[in-house]
Amino acid sequence: MARLALLSTSNKTGLIDLARSLVEEFEFDIISSGGTATVLKEAGIPVTKVAEYTGSPEILGGRVKTLHPRIHGGILARRDVQQDLTDLNENQIRAIDLVVVNLYPFEETIAKPGVTLTDAIEQIDIGGPALLRASAKNHAHLTVLCDPEQYNTYLAEMRQNGGEASLKFRQRCALETFKHTANYDRAIATYLSSQSAEESSLPEQFNLSGKEWQTLRYGENPHQAATWYQSGSIPTGWTTSTILQGKELSYNNLVDLEAARRLIVEFPDTPAAAILKHTNPCGTALGTTISEAYQKAFDTDSVSAFGGIVALNRPIDAATATALTQTFLECIVAPGCEPEAEEIIKKKAKVRVLILPDLTQGPPQTVKIIAGGLLVQESDNIVEETSKWRTVTEKQPTAGEWEELLFAWKVAKHVKSNAIVVTRERTTIGVGAGQMNRVGSVKLALEQAAEKSKGAILASDGFFPFDDSVKTAAEAGIIAIVQPGGSMRDRDSIEAANQLGITMVFTDIRHFLH
């Protein structure tokens, strides 16, 4: 008797070629659910509908199709257990040797704008996961395929082994299947949690999963192995980027690129450029054009910009491309690149140029792995509203100073704490990052700003525990400070600012970045 294959697919990619090979090369009989059977019949491939095989029609609008003893008995029967074989015989059930199933497109559905909960629920596959799990469980006796990318590998395996799939191959397919169903269930649970009013933004159970996207040369250092994983079954974020040119991306490149992306999206309304090194901005600026913004950012600290990561919030034009080729850069990311600009950048063939059309697509949470667990927090995506800030000094900010204070504050949010940022004309002129004490960061930022600090703005990601930083800033010519406030010694800092004629604004929001 011919062997039996069950094909029930949502994604029809490669289906006809697979089915034709099964029938013509390996003499399989095929049973299929409604939609799959229709496609095969139209291609001239002999197929029996599941409803005809089981004697039970599809019911409940297709919700029940393959949930039947003749199907699951044929999948779960152990060929080396006599009682199982007897049960098959007495119930006129054929053993199934191959199960090919891919699931309803749940993640694709919930990614669509305006999708309703009802729409999403109808794309929760029931029969498919049951078929996959049963087949994977009984992989000692049959093969299960859950992804069209496996079809050619399966056919090659059959051709190399006289029409049989080896146990090693079946085990590998079973493992992939259990990973697939686990990720599918995770996606459903995550979505339903987001729809529940009872769930907080951080659920009681947090699951991480990823599919290998690219093996990286190494991690932060050459002795550390590293791999880039795609979260979910649909490419999002950096996995949707187009790499125009350059060397292979490294682990450190991707870490820096993500830091650059998070910073540049703070400025959607104005051309903006940011240059980062080791996740810290060494130059950030706004301009009337993207070329002007980049040049201002570069001039801030041209030494640190060497070997940096550049993020632009507007497509690269010819003028910007020309400027970008004037120094050594590791990576450039922008939402687009004009053809003329692309030709210019090719002069620097090794620089990695990525096009990420939607720079705003970031994760809702950030995750760090510690020994024995995970630390999960909401991403720091708070919308800054100066109307909620408090001027705590006698001197009030001018309209222009309010704009500069907001710019400086947004940049400071993306500098490693203790963070101090000095800006002027919507351009960073001094950055103090990651120091063990705040006054040390103040001194570093002011030293870099030098004479430009006269009339500039200073932002601090955390409060000043003493008034020494205020005094140091005043000596350098700073005219306004923005900080969260909240220190037991706030009054000391406010009094020092009043005595020195400095404006001070409290945001009542802290932006530590570790």
Rounded Cα distance, 48 and 36, in Å: 10
Of the CA atoms within 13 Å of residue 142, those in its CB half-sphere come to 30
179, 211, 278, 346: the catalytic one is 278
| Residue showing tokens 């009542």 | 508
Start-to-end CA distance of the chain, whole Å, equals 66
Task: Decide: 18 and 12 in contact? Cβ < 8 Å.
Answer: no
Write down how long the chain is. 514
Rounded Cα distance, 272 and 459, in Å: 19
Rounded Cα distance, 420 and 429, in Å: 11
Rounded Cα distance, 164 and 152, in Å: 14
12, 137, 179, 346: the catalytic one is 137
Q: If residue 37 lies in a helix (H) or strand (E), which one and from where to where?
A: helix 34-42
Rounded Cα distance, 331 and 212, in Å: 22
> Which residues, at least 6 apart from 345, have a Cβ–Cβ distance to it below 8 Å?
244, 245, 316, 321, 324, 325, 332, 337, 351, 353
- Give, in order, the Cα–Cα distances in Å from 73 to each of 83, 290, 454: 12, 65, 82
Rounded Cα distance, 341 and 314, in Å: 13
User: Omega before 418 cis (within 30°)?
Assistant: yes
278 counts as catalytic: yes
- Bridge partners for 7 per DSSP: 32, 100
Task: Considering only CA atoms, give the Rg of the chain.
Answer: 30
- Structure tokens, 157: 């395996």
- The percent helix, strand, coil of the chain (3-state, each to 5) is 40, 20, 40
Sheet strands (E) in 289-409: 308-312, 329-334, 352-355, 365-370, 373-378, 390-391
137 counts as catalytic: yes
Active site residues: 137, 278
